[in-house]
Structure 1
Amino acid sequence: MRKLLLAIVILELTSIGCNMQTRGSKYAAAPDVPFRAEHLAVGTHPDMVNTTDVNKDGHIDILAANSDSNNVSVYLGDGKGGFSPAPGSPFAAGQSPSDIAVANFNGDDSPDIAVSNHGVKTVTVLLGNGKGQFALAPGSPFNVESSPHPHGIASADFNGDKKPDIAVDSWGENKVLVIFGKGDGTFQTPGMKFETGRMPYHRLRTADLNADGNADIVTSNFEAGSVSVLFSDGRGNFTRKDFPTPPNPFGIAIADLNGDHQLDIAVVHYSGHGNDPSKNALSMLFGDGKENFSPAKGSPFSTGNYPGTLGAGDLNGDGIADIVVPNTLDGTLTIYLGGRNGITPAAYSPMRVGRTPQGVAVADLNHDGRGDIVVAEEEDNDVLVLLAK
């Protein structure tokens, strides 16, 4: 649905062509922007990105889910801000991969990949060899009873057996589906479903929000105007609490945004298919570590046009997570800095990037102690890497 609108508006946006494998700086950055840009060619229509060390060399690598070419691109980092394609990349990942989770699904100590397949009821699991290469797990893609099909995906051990499990949305029935891992790269299907608020449509994320040692699940409920937190008991069961948000909650990030050592929830709200700009926003719910969340002072905050996802990480090296929001129709990033005294916009925000920025991740790609930004640029078929100067 988002792609139909993008196809209409793209005619009004600047078109810049380039097909090199590693493209260098394609868009001129403003002088006060503290980033150096690099572009990496990926598959067709990258929707989401993830960052992790897939080849176990101590350096962060980049993964991109390419929804129209049905694969995942993998770039290996050299720890200095340089990247090269992994041998064999891109890797087939089922139909329309839309989100990426990383875990060690088969117990060999090498990172593996799970992607949600938008448009079909499957999850594709790719097992890594520890060198940056991936192959389909036995039985993958796995059929999942998601209604109508999965969008977001997350992974954690939800039942305490030390084996990573997978959670996907089943937004057509207002539920989350959890399939439990067997520890060999396969899963116990069809899994179990847990109720959320109305229409947990886009992304879900997982973290231990109440410091009990168990991974919890957070969904954004588009029709309900809320987020649901499913608190885990560590045995495969969940207790749900809902927290109100502004209208149209969509993407989610979980991080400590105010330096109190408790995890908070950031949510982007996009204008929907009616494209009402007044609904474009970023809201933040501060957690107390005791299963309670309250709106941050000043929330909601403004964004650009058509935000759909967001990323969290420490951009300025102060030890507190910051927020990056891609504004798809503006071709910009909105950046807010977290802090003990409140949330403030970065001096260089909004920052112009490519034509249609989509998924985003924040990680320290060059070991300088500051977060760098990775953006999926859907219509340009590349990933933008912004290294902190």
Structure 2
Amino acid sequence: MTRTSIGLLRVAAIFLFLSAIPDRALTQTVSFIARGDFKVGTHPHWMAASDFNGDGRPDLATANSDSNNVSVLLGNGDGTFQAAPTLVAGSRPESVAVGDINRDGVPDLAVANSGSSDVSVLLGNGDGSFQAARAFAVAGTTAAAVADLDGDGRPALAMAHAGVVSVLLGNGDGTFQAARAFATAGTSPHSITVADLNGDGRPDLAVANVGSLQTPGQIPGNVSVLLGNGDGTFQEARTFDGGTTPAAVSVADLNGDGRPDLAVANFGSIGSTAQPGNAAVLLGNGDGSFQSAGFFVT
């Protein structure tokens, strides 16, 4: 599988989650207008949405791994977007996350750079433009999330890379403390999300580990769950079978029982163990554990 197809399928994971919702949960037919294409940098690997200029219209940001930048597309409110300016990030940006990192009420960007082994933080100006990136060291990071992980009201960063999650607690001014690593018990993490998975009011982490079925070595992927202690530290990871090559994970109550569930997008594999992509749903037990996955063809 080429880097291009991996990047495109990561973005397509957003749409795979629609297939994971049971038919009974849909009250009306879902349809789409003809697609519109908008130019960004080279090999976009991840996309995030927010209102970057405060006009009430959703905007987009893409992490472009081969052009080493981030594209920001301001929305017109009708599904179309203005031409995208590019923002300099680190080397090989793989993921972009949005949060109010310096607590000024304006969305900021955190970009995971696998090539330069750091995270670029770009503080927003509130008009759709951003300040120059500031880098914080995180080895080989491939996925990013922004959330308050220790309950101090300051956004922190959770960065997935090389079998671990690195947590950088925030100072509340756009800077961060040194990273602390927690093992994920997975190979090649591609996506990370933050949610309360066991109902204790503390943020937990779910990580999609793609494995290496598409390369020599044939290591299957999984989903790692790290329950939070509420102080920015996490318990030992538990792993769950989310399919052959989990590329993205999202959290929602998919069956209406009040418990968070996991939706996982798998982009399949090639070679001797070739398998098609699919979407997996792991229903939650409410204690941070999950039932066996149900799979849906996409």
How many angstroms apart in 2 are the aligned matches of 1:167 and 1:73?
22
Q: Residue 197 of structure 2 aligns with which residue?
A: 209
Asked if residue 234 in structure 1 is aligned to residue 238 in structure 2, the reply is no
How many angstroms apart in 2 are the aligned matches of 1:151 and 1:213?
27
Between 1 and 2, higher relative CO (CA 8 Å, sep ≥ 6) is seen in: 1
Percent identical pairs in the alignment equals 40
Q: What letter is aligned with 2:32?
A: P
Larger radius of gyration: 1
Larger strand share, 1 or 2: 1
Q: Residue 173 of structure 2 aligns with which residue?
A: 184
Q: What letter is aligned with 2:64?
A: N
Write out aligned runs for 1:106-125 (5 A): 106-125=102-121
- Count of paired positions: 266
Q: Residue 71 of structure 1 aligns with which residue?
A: 69
Asked if residue 251 in structure 1 is aligned to residue 248 in structure 2, the reply is yes
How many angstroms apart in 2 are the aligned matches of 1:5 and 1:264?
27
Instruction: Choose 180-189 or 269-278, whichever is displaced more.
Output: 269-278
Asked if residue 157 in structure 1 is aligned to residue 148 in structure 2, the reply is yes
Instruction: Choose 33-42 or 161-170, whichever is displaced more.
Output: 33-42
Shift of residue 4, structure 1, vs aligned partner = 7.8
Q: Residue 17 of structure 2 aligns with which residue?
A: none
Shift of residue 249, structure 1, vs aligned partner = 2.8
- The 3 A distance-change label for structure 1 pair 4 and 67 is closer
Contact 1:72 1:93 in 2 (8 A): yes
Choose which of 129, 133, 138 in structure 1 pairs with 2:125.
129
How many angstroms apart in 1 are the aligned matches of 2:264 and 2:34?
27
Q: What letter is aligned with 1:114?
A: A
How many angstroms apart in 1 are the aligned matches of 2:276 and 2:154?
40
Asked if residue 143 in structure 1 is aligned to residue 137 in structure 2, the reply is yes
Shift of residue 268, structure 1, vs aligned partner = 2.6
Please, which runs of 5 or more residues in structure 2 have no aligned partner?
Answer: 7-29, 212-218
Q: CA RMSD in A?
A: 2.3
Choose which of 82, 94, 99 in structure 2 pairs with 1:98.
94
How many angstroms apart in 2 are the aligned matches of 1:5 and 1:78?
28
Normalising by structure 2, report the TM-score: 0.81
Moved over 6 A (4+): none
Q: Residue 286 of structure 2 aligns with which residue?
A: 289
Q: What letter is aligned with 1:285?
A: L
Please, which runs of 5 or more residues in structure 1 have no aligned partner?
Answer: 7-31, 303-333, 335-389
How many angstroms apart in 1 are the aligned matches of 2:69 and 2:246?
28
Q: Residue 55 of structure 1 aligns with which residue?
A: 53
Q: What letter is aligned with 2:82?
A: S
Asked if residue 168 in structure 1 is aligned to residue 166 in structure 2, the reply is no
How many angstroms apart in 2 are the aligned matches of 1:133 and 1:4?
27
Instruction: Choose 52-61 or 236-245, whichever is displaced more.
Output: 236-245
- The 3 A distance-change label for structure 1 pair 83 and 229 is same
Q: What letter is aligned with 1:300?
A: F
